[in-house]
Amino acid sequence: MPRKGVNVVEPLRGPAGSVRTPVSAKSTLESIETAAAILASSPIHQTPVLTSESLSTLAPIGTTLLFKAENLQKGGAFKIRGATYALSKLSRSELDKGVVTHSSGNHAQALAIAAKAKGAKAYIVMPETSAVIKKNATEGYGAQVILSPPLAEDRERVCQEVRQRTGAYFIPPYDHYDIITGQGTVVLEMIRQAKELDKPLDALVVQVGGGGLLAGSSIVAKAHGIPIYAAEPELADDCFRGFESGKRIERVVTSTIADGLRTPVGTRNFEIILEKVEGVITVSERQIVTAQKLVWERMKMVIEPSAAVGVAVVLFSEKWKSLGIKGNIGVVWSGGNVDLDAPMPWTVIKE
C-alpha cells in the first residue's frame, strides 16, 4: 500500500561537533517541573483533559478514557512545548543569531511560533516535496523556509549551510534533552488535571515517532508510579523492534498515514524509553483511521492520524486487552493538523 510522500528518515549525522546545539542537562522530573513553570508564563495553552463515555464503552470493560487535547495547543500540536523550552535556555545574543531546524511537520510550525514569541529568526529546512500548505503555514508564522532535496544527507547539508552562514542554533525535532524535557510537561499537566477531575490515572498510552513526547512522558509517569505504554503504527514499528531487542533501529522507511511518526526513535530518546516504558504496542493503519474517525464523530474533535494511534491501542489492540489494565487510562492527542481539502484518511485506507 505505498502512497505518495514515502519518507526515508535518518537521524541528522555529520562530522563530530558539527551540530551546534545549546548545552543541556539530562531530562529529569525536576527539569520537567522547571520547564512547566517556565511554560506557564509563556503564551502556551494549558490544554483540557476530556472524557467520553461513548469511547470508554468501546474500550475493554472497566476503562475510563481520558484524553489530553494537545490538538488545541498553539500551532495545533504539543511540539510548541519543547521548542519554547529549548529557546528559553538561549541568551539574547544567541537568540539574535536565530534558530534552525529541519522538519516538514508540526515541529517546523512550533519552532516558528516559539521563535517569533522570543523575537528570534527561525530558519526551517523542509524537503522540496513538502505540501505547499505546510510551507505557507510555516512562513505564515514568520519563519524563513529553505527547501532541500528530500534525502537526509541533503537536508543535513542545507541545515549546516544555514548554521555556518547565520550562526543559528540547531534545535532538533526530538533527539535533544531540552526538547524531551519540554514535551514531558504534557503528561505532568495531565496527571494533575486527572486528579482534579477525581480520575487519577492508572496507566498512560503515548504514541512514539522520534520519541520526544514519549521519553519526556515516561520520565514523569515512572516518577509518579504510573505505568506507561508506547503506541506505534505497525508500518513504522522501529521502536517496537528496538525495544524487543534492546538495540535502537536507526532507519525507518515507511508510508504510515500517521505522518508525524515516520521517524526512527532518537538516541537520547531510546535510552530513556528502554528504561521507563513498560511495553510498545503496534496498531494497523485501519485501526488508526478508525480510531481517528471515532474521535471526530463522537467527540467532535479534529485530531490528526498520529494523535489517533494511542486511541487505536486502547480501543482495538488485542495485546492491550490481554494486559488487563483497568481504571483511568490517559491517552495523549498529540495534534490536530490535517489537510482538510484532502480526502479524509478513513476514506483512503481500506483493508
Say which residues have a Cβ less than 8 Å from residue 135's Cβ, sequence separation at least 6: 126, 145, 147
Residues 111-170 that bind a second copy (CB under 8 A): none
Least separation in angstroms between residue 186's CB and a second copy is 16
Which residue of 57, 136, 164, 347 would you call a contact of a second copy, by CB under 8 A?
347
User: Residue 237: helix, strand or coil by DSSP?
Assistant: coil
By beta-carbon proximity to a second copy, the closer residue of 122 and 299 is: 299
Task: Answer yes or no whether residue 343 interacts with a second copy by CB under 8 A.
Answer: yes
Task: Answer yes or no whether residue 351 interacts with a second copy by CB under 8 A.
Answer: no
Cα(129)–Cα(112) distance, rounded to whole angstroms?
20
Q: Which residues are catalytic?
A: 79, 104
* x-marked contacts with a second copy along 259-298 as a string, rule CB under 8 A: ----------------------------------x--xx-
Task: Answer yes or no whether residue 98 interacts with a second copy by CB under 8 A.
Answer: no
Which residue of 65, 66, 72, 124 would you call a contact of a second copy, by CB under 8 A?
72
Would strands 49-51 and 63-69 be described as parallel, antiparallel, or unpaired?
antiparallel
By beta-carbon proximity to a second copy, the closer residue of 223 and 301 is: 301
By beta-carbon proximity to a second copy, the closer residue of 53 and 318 is: 53
Say which residues have a Cβ less than 8 Å from residue 342's Cβ, sequence separation at least 6: none
C-alpha cell at 132: 505547499
Least separation in angstroms between residue 92's CB and a second copy is 27
Residue 5's alpha-carbon distances to 77, 104, 193, 203, 292, in angstroms, are 21, 11, 37, 34, 20
Task: Answer yes or no whether residue 318 interacts with a second copy by CB under 8 A.
Answer: no
Cell numbers 485530531 correspond to what residue?
303
User: Residue 87: helix, strand or coil by DSSP?
Assistant: helix
Which contacts (CB < 8 Å, 24+ apart) does range 115-118 have?
115/83, 115/87, 115/142, 115/143, 116/141, 116/142, 116/143, 117/42, 117/43, 117/84, 118/87, 118/90
Least separation in angstroms between residue 133's CB and a second copy is 10
Task: Answer yes or no whether residue 302 interacts with a second copy by CB under 8 A.
Answer: yes
Residues that bind a second copy (CB under 8 A): 71-72, 76, 293, 296-297, 299-303, 336, 340-341, 343-344, 346-347
